[in-house]
């Protein structure tokens, strides 16, 4: 950066500071924005080398800017909300101010600035983390539309509008600068802009697009050959996975961070690959066992906890189970269900210890127990290809287990409408479950070819949909029980049901059918993706077909039985079945949200019965007892009020 340009930027910054000084004094000092403070620290770390070299000022304007930024960082940190970490941050800021004033070596200043930036994020998180792995390749057109005019079509800083900008736009192809910037730094610049330059804020773009652009421009300095070399290194080097265990870690990683344990060439190649394919951080390490990702996340969680970062430790622990263990769950559960349950329970206890702030030695002991279970599991899974019998049984069991709950709900609605002689509403129910199957197919395509659906997102989807279905079924069950005691069925149906089953109610039936079926289809598809094996594909498909036949037979039998039952008895039996299903679903819903980290877990010594939704935690059991109590109270109230209603109807 030229001295005149730096002087302009410093002047703009000074004017902003002077303007702030003339503002009316308020009772409370305005709170600093940690994002802006972090961005200034990043600028100091990257640009200080252009201001001072060998203890001499090589750019007076740049040096003045560095002094100004260091002082502003100190002031903004002082105005942050009180926190146990703030005194340490202020001490580090003082050290940074002294180093800049003393014209210290650029590497020393960069180290101080980056360490302070990392500690600032730990103490005052800015919440800048991608919700899902960005897709840099999909924003090529967006870059051409929004960025190429200044930065050039290839990112060389030579766009048509570049000549009129002072300072000139950044050249993203500058390898030295790209090595110093992180995707998070680029994301913040895109989101907030840079005062005193032509770089405006693009906060109007979606967060997803801003992250994708950050990874896209951060990768323009790397060659296709570097990306290819990086892919091979990433697949072979477990140490690199340990340095970049999560997507959040990737957003904050520079080449120099990896170069402390790898060669500069290897660090360059791995960064090139991961900025081009961020989703790779969520993929298992090839050749190191089916539970390698789970081991990696668990080890990272343990390190984060020992460093005092409980929130990050908990996030990594959840990822260890949801992203590392659940993909192999169908196969492992088929071969050794008891071991699968041991692993689930042990990892849940580990997360509970983190939440209770247990002693690090106890956490380490529990982690060691989990790794021993992983050893046993990998011995069970050591055959690289699923044998055909196991594949058939796993495929058959998954479909029947997941499909039966949805079948009970849908068949119950169909039978009810037929009994009520309201066949014109049946298309809404059929549209609901058919739409759910189509949405499931779209989910399969997305999970296979487009995006990586994280374990947490999967559990949240399953949990929320299960709780929704449970709430609906509970109310429907109590209503059906009330009508089972009313008598005069045909008269009631003809007089009341036409109003009850309005278009609005029909749409509600569509939504219930869709949610009930999609919840099971969603989980089933992800299980099949995880267990798929080319060698066992025939057996998996055979299990799928056999499970489909069983579900078809069950559906046919249920419909025939419902036709034979007198309508009063049909309502009575259905009300009990639906209420029981609500109890099961609420248990499963709470358990899914616990696995996603949305609900805490307090353990209790009771058997785990998956098909009943019974799990050994107070939260899920209390939720089930609450639903059961509401159902029982509703049934009792119905029974007591039945004689009065019958007398009134005469």
Q: What is the mean pLDDT of residues 13-42?
A: 53
Identify whether residues 112 and 255 lie together within a single domain.
Answer: no
- Whether 5 has a pLDDT exceeding 60, the answer reads no
Q: Is residue 623 domain-resident? A: no
Tokens matching residue 33: 């924005």
Q: Which of 522, 550, 577 is the last residue in one of the domains?
A: 577
Q: Is residue 304 domain-resident? A: no
Question: Can you give the pLDDT at residue 437?
Answer: 83
Residue 570 binned pLDDT confidence (cut-offs 50, 70, 90): low
| Contact criterion met (CB below 8 Å) for 256 and 267 | yes
Question: What CA–CA distances, in Å, run from 620 to 35, 399, 594?
Answer: 39, 24, 9
State how far the Cα of 650 lies from the Cα of 648, in Å rounded to an integer. Answer: 6
Tokens matching residue 325: 């263990």
Q: Is residue 604 domain-resident? A: no
Identify whether residues 358 and 484 lie together within a single domain.
Answer: no
Identify whether residues 113 and 24 lie together within a single domain.
Answer: yes
Identify whether residues 486 and 553 lie together within a single domain.
Answer: yes
DSSP string, 39-54: HHHHHHHHHGGGTEET
Residue carrying the six token digits 């169908």: 330
Identify whether residues 409 and 496 lie together within a single domain.
Answer: yes
Domain that includes residue 496, residue range: 388-577
380 compared with 139, residue with greater pLDDT: 139
Identify whether residues 181 and 243 lie together within a single domain.
Answer: yes
State how far the Cα of 303 lies from the Cα of 313, in Å rounded to an integer. Answer: 8
| Contact criterion met (CB below 8 Å) for 13 and 68 | yes
Identify whether residues 229 and 111 lie together within a single domain.
Answer: no
Q: What is the mean pLDDT of residues 476-497?
A: 55
| Contact criterion met (CB below 8 Å) for 134 and 147 | no
Sign of CA dihedral 44, 45, 50, 51: positive
Residue carrying the six token digits 């800015």: 126
Tokens matching residue 138: 């999909």
Question: Can you give the pLDDT at residue 23?
Answer: 37
Over the stretch 160-217, which tens digit does the pLDDT of each residue have? 988 888 778 889 999 888 888 899 989 988 988 877 778 888 989 999 999 999 999 9
Tell me the sheet residues that pair with 609. Answer: 614
Identify whether residues 426 and 485 lie together within a single domain.
Answer: yes
- Whether 143 has a pLDDT exceeding 90, the answer reads yes
| Contact criterion met (CB below 8 Å) for 233 and 258 | no
User: Vertex 375, ends 370 and 381: CA angle to 5°?
Assistant: 120
Over the stretch 530-547, which tens digit does the pLDDT of each residue have? 666 656 677 778 888 888
Identify whether residues 568 and 437 lie together within a single domain.
Answer: yes
Question: Can you give the pLDDT at residue 388?
Answer: 67
Over the stretch 10-26, which tens digit does the pLDDT of each residue have? 433 333 333 333 333 33
Which distant-in-sequence residues (6+ apart) come within 8 Å of 180 by Cβ?
45, 46, 254, 256
State how far the Cα of 43 lies from the Cα of 65, in Å rounded to an integer. Answer: 10
Over the stretch 345-377, which tens digit does the pLDDT of each residue have? 898 889 888 988 888 888 888 988 898 898 888
Sign of CA dihedral 228, 229, 233, 236: positive
331 compared with 629, residue with greater pLDDT: 629
Q: What is the mean pLDDT of residues 524-529?
A: 68
Identify the three-state secondary structure at position 464: helix
DSSP-derived letter for residue 393 is H
User: Which of the residue ranges 338-352, 454-468, 557-571 has the most confident prediction, judged by mean pLDDT?
Assistant: 338-352
Q: Is residue 648 domain-resident? A: no
Q: Which of 543, 577, 611 is the last residue in one of the domains?
A: 577
State how far the Cα of 602 lies from the Cα of 616, in Å rounded to an integer. Answer: 8
Question: Can you give the pLDDT at residue 490?
Answer: 47
Q: Is residue 591 domain-resident? A: no
Identify whether residues 89 and 234 lie together within a single domain.
Answer: no
Residue 142 binned pLDDT confidence (cut-offs 50, 70, 90): very high
Q: What is the mean pLDDT of residues 576-595?
A: 80
CATH code, domain with 196: 1.10.760
Identify whether residues 295 and 430 lie together within a single domain.
Answer: no
Q: Is residue 399 domain-resident? A: yes
Q: Which of 82, 101, 123 is the last residue in one of the domains?
A: 123
Q: What is the mean pLDDT of residues 99-104?
A: 92
Question: Can you give the pLDDT at residue 457?
Answer: 59
Question: Can you give the pLDDT at residue 566?
Answer: 64
Question: What CA–CA distances, in Å, run from 531 to 342, 384, 437, 579?
Answer: 20, 12, 20, 33
Identify whether residues 436 and 341 lie together within a single domain.
Answer: no
| Contact criterion met (CB below 8 Å) for 393 and 338 | no
Residue 6 binned pLDDT confidence (cut-offs 50, 70, 90): very low
Structural domains in the chain (count): 4
Q: Give this prediction's pTM.
A: 0.48
Q: Is residue 647 domain-resident? A: no
| Helices then strands, each counted (H, E), the chain | 29, 2
Least confident of 176-190, 288-302, 309-323, 467-481: 467-481
């Amino acid at each position: 950066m030229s001295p005149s340009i730096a002087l302009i930027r410093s002047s703009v910054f000074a004017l902003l500071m002077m303007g702030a000084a003339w503002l009316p004094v308020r009772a409370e000092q305005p709170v600093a924005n940690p994002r802006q403070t972090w961005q200034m620290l990043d600028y100091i770390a990257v640009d200080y080398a252009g201001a001072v070299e060998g203890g001499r000022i090589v750019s007076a304007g740049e040096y003045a800017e560095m002094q100004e930024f260091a002082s502003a960082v100190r002031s903004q940190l002082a105005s942050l909300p009180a926190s146990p970490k703030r005194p340490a941050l202020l001490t580090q800021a003082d050290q940074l101010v002294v180093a800049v004033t003393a014209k210290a070596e650029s590497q020393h200043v960069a180290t101080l600035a980056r360490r302070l930036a990392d500690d600032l994020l730990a103490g005052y998180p800015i919440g800048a983390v991608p919700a899902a792995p960005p897709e840099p390749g999909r924003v090529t057109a967006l870059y051409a539309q929004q960025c190429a005019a200044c930065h050039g079509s290839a990112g060389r800083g030579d766009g048509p509008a570049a000549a009129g900008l002072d300072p000139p736009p950044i050249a993203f192809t500058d390898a030295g600068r790209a090595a110093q910037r992180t995707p998070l730094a680029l994301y913040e610049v895109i989101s907030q802009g840079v005062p005193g330059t032509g770089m405006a804020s693009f906060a109007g773009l979606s967060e997803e697009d801003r992250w994708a652009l950050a990874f896209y421009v951060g990768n323009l300095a790397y060659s296709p050959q570097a990306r290819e070399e990086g892919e091979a290194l990433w697949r072979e080097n477990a140490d690199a996975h340990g340095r970049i265990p999560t997507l959040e870690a990737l957003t904050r990683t520079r080449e120099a961070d990896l170069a402390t344990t790898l060669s500069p060439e290897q660090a360059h190649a791995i960064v090139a690959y991961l900025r081009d394919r961020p989703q790779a951080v969520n993929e298992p390490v090839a050749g190191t066992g089916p539970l390698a990702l789970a081991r990696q996340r668990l080890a990272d969680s343990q390190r984060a906890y020992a460093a005092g970062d409980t929130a990050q430790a908990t996030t990594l622990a959840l990822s260890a189970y949801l992203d590392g263990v659940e993909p192999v769950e169908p196969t492992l559960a088929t071969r050794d269900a008891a071991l699968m349950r041991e692993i689930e329970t042990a990892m849940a206890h580990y997360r509970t210890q983190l939440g209770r702030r247990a002693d690090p030695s106890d956490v380490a002991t529990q982690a060691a127990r989990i790794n021993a279970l992983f050893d046993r599991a990998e011995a069970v899974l050591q055959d690289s290809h699923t044998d055909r019998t196991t594949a058939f049984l796993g495929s058959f069991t998954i479909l029947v287990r997941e499909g039966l709950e949805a079948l009970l709900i849908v068949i119950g609605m169909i039978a009810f409408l037929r009994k009520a002689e309201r066949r014109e509403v049946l298309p809404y129910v059929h549209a609901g479950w058919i739409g759910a199957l189509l949405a499931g197919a779209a989910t399969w395509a997305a999970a296979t070819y487009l995006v990586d659906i994280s374990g947490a997102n999967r559990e949240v989807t399953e949990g929320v949909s299960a709780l929704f279905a449970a709430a609906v079924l509970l109310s429907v069950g109590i209503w059906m029980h009330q009508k089972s005691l009313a008598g005069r069925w045909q008269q009631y149906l003809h007089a009341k049901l036409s109003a009850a089953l309005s278009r609005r109610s029909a749409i509600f039936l569509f939504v219930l059918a869709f949610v009930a079926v999609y919840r099971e289809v969603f989980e089933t598809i992800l299980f099949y993706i995880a267990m798929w094996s080319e060698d066992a594909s025939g057996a998996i498909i055979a299990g799928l077909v056999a499970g489909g036949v069983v579900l078809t037979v069950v559906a046919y039998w249920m419909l025939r039985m419902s036709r034979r039952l007198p309508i009063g008895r049909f309502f009575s039996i259905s009300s009990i079945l639906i209420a029981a299903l609500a109890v099961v679903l609420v248990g499963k819903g709470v358990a899914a949200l616990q696995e996603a980290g949305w609900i805490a877990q307090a353990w209790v010594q009771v058997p785990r019965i998956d098909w009943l939704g019974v799990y050994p935690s107070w939260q899920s059991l209390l939720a089930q007892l609450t639903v059961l109590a509401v159902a029982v109270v509703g049934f009792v109230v119905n029974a007591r009020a039945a004689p009065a209603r019958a007398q009134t109807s005469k």
